[in-house]
Amino acid sequence: MDSCRNLATRLDVPRRYAFDHDDAGSLRRWDADPYLRHRIYARRCSFKMDLKRFRRFFVYLNLFIAAMMILVGGDSYLMLFVGWEGVGLCSFLLIGFWYEIDTLGRPSWANSDAAKKAFIANRIGDFGFLIASFLMFWAFHSLQFDQVFQQAPAIAASNPGLITAITLFLLLGVTGKSAQIPLFVWLPDAMAGPTPVSALIHAATMVTAGVYLVTRSAALYVTVPAAQYIVALVGAVTALFAATIAVGQYDIKKVLAYSTISQLGFMVQAWAWARLQQACSTF
């Protein structure tokens, strides 16, 4: 009975929000502006959908906004993961919004299949995030950002392989959410959703959640330069590969999707090289 009580005590992870300057800026960028643009577009196009589907669209959209606020506002990897799963669920629901027709309005299950592909690809990435969280809790006995980052240098000095494993599993989560190699295959088909969803969620907001995760975990990555090299390599290969594919596309939504993947690759690579340069200048 005592051992069960001790385990329950260790699993008591606080669920709080913490806002610093960067988080407040992230909330403003990811919440207010896209939300207003969504409402403007939906009101202009409301005549194209029945009342039931119009309400459903706003339910999914507001759920996405709530999940994104949890993602950027939580003060632990647990709360970040809750928001992470929330935006993934909303992505699935919005990609398959027109589940019974294709992009040309013909009867088809193509949009439904695209939603399932996005769901499966993101679940693979989420598995990496989960494994990283389990390893983190086992090593640091906490998922709070401040406690994990304070202990990271000492753990990296005594057990660098563990920190490397955590960062690489986090990178797997990044490849799923930010559509990096090898889990980039879902984003081109995700453009099957309503146009504002494609333009503002799958090209501007949700897909940057992976970049946010790797940036938020910078204190872990700086302790293992090898993981930073791998992050830079993944970003560089994705940027070149996706841009090459975009050149040969004729569907404007496919061009937007592959160019988005390429730009996300540049973001991931730029973050990794900036951290490597900072580490080299420190030493």
- Token digits of residue 122: 């993101």
Of 108 and 268, more confident: 268
pLDDT at position 194: 75
Q: Is residue 239 part of a domain?
A: yes
Contacting residues for 65 by C-beta, under 8 A, at least 6 apart: 31, 35
Q: For residue 167, how many other CB atoms are within 10 A of its CB?
A: 23
Indicate the number of domains in the chain.
Answer: 1
Q: Is residue 12 part of a domain?
A: no
Alpha helix (H) residue ranges in 51-194: 51-73, 77-95, 110-140, 145-158, 160-177, 186-190
45 DSSP assignment: T
Per-residue pLDDT tens digits for 173-208:
999 888 888 888 888 888 777 777 777 676 667 888
Looking at residues 230-243, what average pLDDT do you find? 91
* Percent of the chain with pLDDT strictly greater than 70: 75
By three-state DSSP, how is residue 193 classified?
Answer: coil
* Percent of the chain with pLDDT strictly greater than 90: 15
**pLDDT higher than 80, residue 152:** yes
188-189-195 Cα angle (round to 5): 90
Q: Is residue 208 part of a domain?
A: yes
pLDDT at position 166: 92
Q: Is residue 200 part of a domain?
A: yes
pLDDT at position 7: 43
Contacting residues for 114 by C-beta, under 8 A, at least 6 apart: 95, 96, 186, 189, 190, 192
Per-residue pLDDT tens digits for 74-88:
888 999 999 999 888
The number of helix segments (H) and strand segments (E) in the chain equals: 14, 0
**pLDDT higher than 60, residue 280:** no
Beta-bridged to residue 107, according to DSSP, are: 101
Cα 67 from Cα 63, distance rounded (Å)? 6
pLDDT at position 104: 64
Q: Is residue 2 part of a domain?
A: no
Q: Which of 220, 137, 140, 142 is nearest to 174 (CA)?
A: 220
Q: Is residue 5 part of a domain?
A: no
Band (131; pLDDT cuts 50, 70, 90): very high
pLDDT at position 167: 92
**pLDDT higher than 90, residue 54:** no
Band (127; pLDDT cuts 50, 70, 90): very high
Domain that holds residue 195: 17-282
Q: Is residue 1 part of a domain?
A: no
Q: Is residue 32 part of a domain?
A: yes
Band (33; pLDDT cuts 50, 70, 90): very low
pLDDT at position 4: 46
Per-residue pLDDT tens digits for 97-106:
877 776 666 7
pLDDT at position 238: 92
Of 120 and 189, more confident: 120
Of 39-43, 60-64, 164-168, least confident by mean pLDDT is: 39-43
